[in-house]
Amino acid sequence: MVFQAAWFAAVLGAANQIPLWGTAAVGAALAWHLAVSARPVEEAKLLGLVCLIGFAIETGNVLLGQVSYTSGQPVANLAPYWMVALWGLLAIALNVTMRWMKGRFWLASVLGAVAGPASFVSGVKLGGAQFIAMTPALATMACTWAVLMPALVWLSMRFDGVAVPEVAHA
């Protein structure tokens, strides 16, 4: 529920030229998640890595001329900050609502190829971004997410701050 509310706040904030509001909502969700995590340092590592990956992917989409954004880009041709914040939401979902994908890399690939572009289409329909060329953009996104989602699942296995570590018993 928190994930969806923050996602809508970010996209609708960007669509209405007030991207800071939505980004603040995402920031609050991320802070709350880290505060209640069993190992917040591990979760913060995952969060940072996923945001860096997201920044690179979204900047690539802009530089390839596939998408443009309505607001939140202090530097032209770079990913908007609210979009990078959405990658933070994805990071916290990996060890919570998407936890069931751990070790299921083929399934993560298929779901990534479908859900990644579908999420972007939803954001476009709400006005947070525009496709420059929809079909090539969606094809690129599907291929990217097919590779990226299993990698993110692997990272979430490496940096799992939600699961309480097992204690070895003598």
Give the whole-angstrom CA distance, residue 71 versus residue 99.
32
Answer for the pair 137, 18: CB distance below 8 angstroms, yes or no: no
Answer for the pair 53, 87: CB distance below 8 angstroms, yes or no: yes
Domain contains 170: no
Which domain range does residue 96 map to?
Answer: 2-158
* pLDDT over 80 (residue 43): yes
The total number of structural domains in the chain stands at 1
Give the tens place of pLDDT for each residue, 113-130. Answer: 999 999 999 999 999 999
With a threshold of 0.85, does the pTM exceed it? yes
The three-class DSSP label of residue 69 is: strand
The three-class DSSP label of residue 166 is: coil
Domain contains 168: no
Domain contains 121: yes
**Which amino acid appears at position 165 of this protein?**
P
Give the sign of the dihedral formed by CA 100, CA 98, CA 157, CA 61.
positive
